[in-house]
Chain A
Amino acid sequence: MSILSSKLQMPLLRPDLVQRSRLIDYLNAGLYRKLTLISAPAGFGKTTVASTWIAQSNYPTAWLSLDGRDNDSARFLRYIIAAIQRIDADIGQLASEVLQAGQQSSIEAVLTSLLNEIAVIPDDFWLVLDDYHLLESPEIDDALRFLLEHLPAQMHLVIITREDPQLPLSRLRVRDQLTELRVADLRFTVDEAAEFLNHAMGLTLSAQDIDALEKRTEGWVAGLQLAALSLQGRTDATDFIQAFTGSHRFIVDYLLEEVLHRQSETMREFLLYTSILGQMNGSLCDAVTQRNDSQKVLEVLERSNLFVIALDDERGWYRYHHLFGDALYNALNNEYPEHIPVLHRWASDWYVKQGQLQEAIEHALLANDFKQAADLIETIWPKMDENYQSGQWFEWASRLPEAVVLNHPILCLGYGWVKLLHGDLDMAEIWFQRAERWLDAPSEQHKQMAVIDQRLFEELPASICHARGYRALTMGDIQTAVQFAAQSLRLNRHHDHPNYGRGLVLHGLAQLANGDLIKADQTFSDFTAYMEAAGNIMDATELVFIIGDIRITLGRLHDAYHAYNNAFQFLARQGNPSVIGLEDLYRGIADVYLMRNQLVLAEENLLAAEELGEQGIIRPNWQSRLYATQAQLEIAQGDFATALQLLHEAEQQLVPTPVFLNHSIHALKARVWIRQGKLDVAQRWARQQGLSPDGDITYLREYEYLTFTLLQIALYQAQPSDILRTSTHNLLDRLYATTHDSGRIAHVIEVFILRALMYTAQHEIPLALNALHQALVLAEPESYIRLFVDGGQPIADLLREAEAQVIMPNYVHQLLAAFDAPTPPPPAAQALIDPLSDRELDVLRLLHTDLSGPEIARQLVVSLSTMRTHTRSIYSKLDVNNRRAAVRRAQELALL
């Protein structure tokens, strides 16, 4: 989104303004309070007082002039960040990133990031929101309330508005946190009126006349100003004032008519025609008034204090004072209503020439020029979609008549995507068909079709395929998704187009779901390399954890590690930006360390992942992925109870997305039950999941079937039978065939280990050793360790046998050492050697809630890093390594 810099510019002051020192003093006296509220009707000089005050104070100021479009909360937040960046350009980088995550990030998450970043601004500064009454969104009111509740000490908020904001004003008053300037304060006193009329406006009125004007206008500066303009150059001032004060007519009507009457016809037209513009500069006014001297006119208007406010000293942007602008528009609407659409059309054309499509669209819609509007809305679609602004886009698109949309295939496609992103899968398909209809339409119908960017139309078949593939994957229909993804890529000829990248991701996800891991790895790696080369940080790191997962399964542990290491190095080269998804890199590399049984490294990276994840940046299923990896660390350390609790929570929070987890969570749970000897519970799981010895083994169920086989072996061990032996070997043979043929080496290793376990249960030790040897051969080059250690005592015994027979002695020795490494016994319920401090107990109690890290920090009124220091100290004293385990341990110790 382009930021209009004029919205961030504090209105410029005329040097001859009235000094309202009583108001300035009052405002200065209230500076220690959080909020200054300037609330009064239109035309009472609110903005002028605020900008005079701020200009005199010399505090750094972030100014934001709001307009109706800021009701879109994403846009509102972008502008807040942009305004604050005028003070310090480095602030708000992370918040912008969070905002980029689109629908997935909440307003609070963005504000939390922003507040954390603001904490580093050393000096006091102000954020001013002008024309706050234009915002009607409850979401934004909530955002402001949140901001106010967590306002850093050095930040001061100023709200200028025509109506009181939906904030807890009475509470702020009671707490002495609110300074208010209201209409009674803003009315001009007789002295101020005198100074304004006779000094600023250059009149020479008697005290009596001034008194009469002050009474008639009730100190309303808009009325005083109009009166002064009507009086300039008159010789009969007193008569005029008597007639005016004796009239019941509305002040603006009376005086504006007077002022307009005294302008030349061309000036009058200028004022009326340009009243359709929210803001204006010379060139834009030239376009709307068909003249070529508008810049001069604007300067004259500004000098003579005639309605305009300068917004920007460099580029010459102005706007009408709202009240006068409205009154002028009112007059235009009465005199030349038929001109209004034409004027908007000219404004739209001008903005098109400037490349400012958003403003061009607004004016085209106001001109009821739906053809131009539709063309522009179509042109802007790819960019807005990329920037997660489909909400704003749809707001425009839905103002178009449906007949117009139907003639624009690209708009139909956009409509379909918006429906898809909002989960309305049926309507999405209907719109895709409406787009598609044009592809097969006979050529004589093509005259009715509207297409701006021929290339987008050429890509339409590919784009529709891609959209349908995404839809199918969301519905879990993998086969269809695979077909659409492949077709979309075949059809996509422009490799530099963003659509191609997205098609690639979809293609990879479908390949992955289909079990083509080698191809999926290639697809994602190509995408990542391409995005790295393009310097696109978020895209370049987004898929790395999936690549890592794939390579672990493919038996390429070194390559998995390199994927993460490359990503970290890439980020370092980019100056280590805070990027969404960083937490998944730390979590994913912990998976690699776990496989190598490097538990300390796994634990450190998981702690970092947990902390990053607490910062409110949420990608789908992050929490489930984190819990699942944490659970595997707990399993490695022998704490099965905590592992089961983590897995339970991971399962609770899992939502369906096109990105599947590496291991089914319920299968991980079943493995724990089997190791605990709870075979009946595991059998119930197998029945619920519909697992049977002759069941169909697809890739997505492979891990479940490996687990199921482990259960069968445990059952055979408990009660041997021929049937069970035959069916287990049959399962193992089928698993070997499917894993081996598709190159999923880690799963092949598991199959060999399972075979070794089965033969051990059959007391066929030479066969068991042979199977183990095959596993060792495959596992040794990549140093897989955990897979063996999880096999338990029977595998340890076999390894000792291997050691005796001098089979692969170095590796076997390494594996045996891993078995010997003391796993910390589950802590007994005993008093802590180093007791928790009171503050740590406070933190601990909040860890036992659903609050996120930043929420806890706010509740305790400490910074996030202080809160982390407490958390780390608690973990260390309780001898745990994650939040759930801390809570569990604390419950055992009756600390909660």
Chain B
Amino acid sequence: MNEEQGTYTIRIKGHLSEQWATRFEGMTMTFTEEGETHLTGTLADQSALHGLLRTVRDSGLELLAVNRVDGE
């Protein structure tokens, strides 16, 4: 695996509709009972991560946490 790559989970408040799948292409959406959406996926590098966070910001979504989950 490219060392820049990383797998991340991004926790967002509220359940997103399926429409968001295109906006967050390549990320898997799961929903928790507490009313959170978890976006999980592998991102090419830090700037891909920042781009994703910008989408979160500009969509008015509330960001709860960002975690790297691939053991790094």
Contact = CB atoms under 8 A, between A and B. Distances in A.
Interface of A: 41-43, 133, 162-163, 220, 222, 247-253, 257, 322-323, 326-327, 330-331, 333-334, 337
B15 A333 contact: no
A268 to B, nearest CB: 15
B35 A248 contact: yes
Contact of B57 (A163, A220, A330): A163
Nearest to B56: A41
A221 to B, nearest CB: 11
Which 5 interchain pairs have the tightest Cβ spacing? A248-B35, A250-B14, A253-B17, A42-B60, A334-B19
A327 B17 CA distance: 11
Secondary structure at chain A's binding surface: helix, strand, loop or mixed? helix
B58 A322 contact: yes
A330 B20 CA distance: 7
B18 to A, nearest CB: 8
B60 A248 contact: no
Contacts, number: 61
A42 B60 CA distance: 5
A771 to B, nearest CB: 75
A253 B60 contact: no
Contacts of B16: 249-250, 253
A248 B58 contact: no
A162 B63 CA distance: 13
A43 B18 CA distance: 22
A249 B17 contact: yes
Given A330-B23, A333-B22, A334-B22, A257 B58 contact: no
B57 A248 contact: no
Given A248-B31, A248-B35, A330-B23, A41 B17 contact: no
Interface of B: 12-20, 22-23, 31, 35, 37, 57-62
Nearest to B22: A333
B15 A326 contact: no
Contacts of B14: 248-251, 253
A143 B22 CA distance: 37
Nearest to A218: B62
Given A162-B58, A248-B15, 5 more contacts: A327-B59, A330-B19, A330-B22, A330-B59, A334-B22
B60 A222 contact: yes
Contacts of A333: 19, 22-23
A43 B60 CA distance: 7
Nearest to B61: A250
Contacts of B23: 330, 333
B45 to A, nearest CB: 17
A323 B31 contact: no
A331 B21 CA distance: 11
Nearest to A249: B15
Contacts of B59: 42, 252, 323, 326-327, 330
Contacts of B12: 250
Contacts of A337: 22
A42 B58 CA distance: 6
Contacts of A162: 57-58
Contacts of A43: 60
Nearest to A163: B57
B57 A42 contact: yes
A334 B60 CA distance: 19
B31 A326 contact: no
Contacts of A251: 14
A323 to B, nearest CB: 5
Contacts of A334: 18-19, 22
